[in-house]
Amino acid sequence: MIHRQMGRQVASSTTVGSLQTGQGQENEKEVRRNGMTQTAKKSLYALGLQQPRFAYFNGEVRPWEEATLHVSCEAVNRGLNVFEGLKGYWQAGGVEFGIVELRRHYDRLSRSARLLHIPVPVSYEEFRDACSKIVRALYEPGKDMWIRATLFVVEGHWGESTVADLVLTAYHQAKDAPAPVAVGVSTWQRSSDISLSPRIKSSTNYQVARLARIEGKKRGFSEMILLNQQGRVAEATGACVLLVRDGCVITPPASEGRLESITLEIVRKICHSLAIPFIERPVDRTELHIADEIRLVGTLAELAPVTRVDEYELPPTSPLTDLIAETFWDAVRGVTPHPAVELTFV
Ligand SMILES: Cc1ncc(COP(=O)(O)O)c(C=O)c1O
C-alpha cells in the first residue's frame, strides 16, 4: 500500500522510519560483569540517528529509501498511527538473538489500534515472522536492536475505509547500561483518558512529551516527568516511573495516566520472585523529592537510575533497584533466565 502511493508521488513523500532518540556518546564507564560488560553513557535513549539499509513494509523487507508515505494519507495528515518499541538482545554466548515479550507487544499494538479504529492487517504469527525478517536482515553480532513496529494508516478518510500497513524499522544498540539521569518535572501535563488516552501508543500521544523534552533540555534535564491532570505523577516522556520508599517499590497505576508498560509487568514479577513489595498507587510530586531510589522503566530505558529530580538529589546508592535491574539484565540477555521474561528467538 505504501508502495503504491509512493509510486504516485515520490518527490512529496516522507520517510517512515525517522528515529527521535538521543545521540549522546560521551562519558563512558564500565558498569557490568558476567562477561557481558555494559558501558554506561550519558544519554538515556542512546540509539543515535541511524539509517539502516532496510525497512519492512507492504509485506516485505525492502530498501530503506522506498519506505515512504504519501502526503495525503491519514498517517501524514493527521499523524494517524499506532506503534510499539521492542527490544532484542544477543543472548549469553552470542549465537541466539531474543526479542523480549513479542506477544505482549503485538497485543498492545492491537489494543491501541482498536481504540483508534485502525484495522490490524496482520495476525500474531505474521507479525512475529515480519519481526524476524527485519531483524535477520539487519542484525550484526554483538549489537542489540530496538525495533519499531508501526501501523500507519495509508488509506481512508476520517475513519472511513481505513487501511493500515505494518511498517518495521530496526536500529542497532550497543550493550550499554542505561546511564544515570537527572530528571525534571515538566510544566506540561499528560493527557487524560477522556482526551487522548495514555493507554494508546500513538505518535500523536508523544507531542506533549516532545514539548516536555524541549523544556527539559533548556533546564538541563535529559528526561522529564509529566504530571497528570490532578497534579500527580503520570510517567516520563518515554518510560514509567518507579520509586522506592521504606523498602517498597511503588509505581502509579495506568489509571494515573501512564502507558500500560510491558517492562513494568516484568519488574512486578521480578519483585515478586525476590520477595520485594511492589505497590501500585497514586504518587504525589513531592514523593519524587523524598524517594530513596527512583528508576525510569521501559523497553528502551530499561531501568535507568535517576540521580536527581528537579533540585533534589537522590541518595547515592540504590540497593533495591540495583538488584531488580541486575535480575532484569541477566534475564533479557539469557545469562540467568527468569520466568518474568519471555523471549522469542530469531
Ligand atoms: C510514554 C511511555 N511510557 C512508558 C513506556 C514503557 O513501556 P514499555 O515498558 O512497554 O516499553 C514507554 C516506552 O515505550 C513510553 O513511551
Say how far residue 140 (Cα) sits from the centre of its chain. Answer: 21
Percent of the chain at pLDDT exceeding 90? 82
pLDDT at position 29 is 38
Say how far residue 337 (Cα) sits from the centre of its chain. Answer: 22
Ligand 1 site, residue 252, Cβ cutoff 6 A: no
The atom number, within ligand 1, closest to the CA of 198 reads 1
CA of 240 to the centre of ligand 1 (A): 6
116 and 169 housed in the same domain: yes
pLDDT at position 46 is 59
Angle ∠(181,187,191) on CA atoms, nearest 5: 100
| Residue 342 in domain | no
| Residue 337 in domain | no
How many domains does the chain divide into? 2
Domain boundaries, position 232: 181-332
169 and 185 housed in the same domain: no
pLDDT at position 255 is 98
148 and 11 housed in the same domain: yes
pLDDT at position 94 is 87
Domain boundary among 173, 200, 235: 173
Spatial distance between the Cα atoms of 54 and 136, rounded to a whole number of angstroms: 11
pLDDT at position 6 is 32
10 and 129 housed in the same domain: yes
| Residue 344 in domain | no
| Residue 345 in domain | no
Q: Residue 140 is part of a domain; what is its CATH number?
A: 3.30.470.10
336: which DSSP letter? S
Ligand 1 site, residue 81, Cβ cutoff 6 A: no
* Torsion 91-136-127-19 (CA) sign: positive
CA of 6 to the centre of ligand 1 (A): 31
Q: What is the pLDDT of residues 113-168, one digit of tens each?
A: 999 999 999 999 999 999 999 999 999 998 999 999 999 999 999 999 999 999 99
| Residue 343 in domain | no
254 and 167 housed in the same domain: no
Which of 231, 236, 242, 288 has the alpha carbon at shortest distance from 258? 236
Going across the sheet that includes 60-63, the strands are 60-63, 54-57, 160-173, 144-157, 81-90, 97-100, 343-345
Q: Please report which helix (H) or strand (E) contains residue 51, including its range.
A: none
Whose C-alpha lies nearest to ligand 1, atom 16?
238
24 and 144 housed in the same domain: yes
Neighbours of 311 (CB within 10 A): 8
Ligand 1 site, residue 262, Cβ cutoff 6 A: yes
Spatial distance between the Cα atoms of 88 and 82, rounded to a whole number of angstroms: 20
pTM over 0.85: yes
Domain boundary among 153, 173, 193: 173
The atom number, within ligand 1, closest to the CA of 108 reads 10
- The C-alpha cell at 41 is 553513557
104 and 225 housed in the same domain: no
What are phi and psi for residue 58, nearest 5 degrees?
A: 50, 40
- The C-alpha cell at 126 is 505474521
CA of 252 to the centre of ligand 1 (A): 13
Ligand 1 site, residue 254, Cβ cutoff 6 A: no
Q: Residue 282 is part of a domain; what is its CATH number?
A: 3.20.10.10
- The C-alpha cell at 125 is 504469527
206 and 121 housed in the same domain: no
- The C-alpha cell at 205 is 500521544
pLDDT at position 28 is 36
| Residue 339 in domain | no
Domain boundary among 128, 157, 173: 173
Q: For the chain, which residues score pLDDT lower than 50? A: 1-15, 17-42
Spatial distance between the Cα atoms of 107 and 109, rounded to a whole number of angstroms: 5
CA of 27 to the centre of ligand 1 (A): 25
Report, in this order, helix, strand and coil percent for the chain, each rounded to 5: 30, 30, 40
Query: Could you tell me which residues are beta bridge partners of residue 56?
Result: 61, 168
Tell me the one-letter amino acid at 300.
Answer: L
- The C-alpha cell at 316 is 547515592
Ligand 1 site, residue 144, Cβ cutoff 6 A: no
56 and 191 housed in the same domain: no
| Residue 209 in domain | yes
Q: What is the pLDDT of residues 25-60, one digit of tens each?
A: 333 333 333 333 344 444 666 566 789 999 999 999
pLDDT at position 16 is 55
| Residue 84 in domain | yes
* Residue indicated by cell numbers 549469553: 92
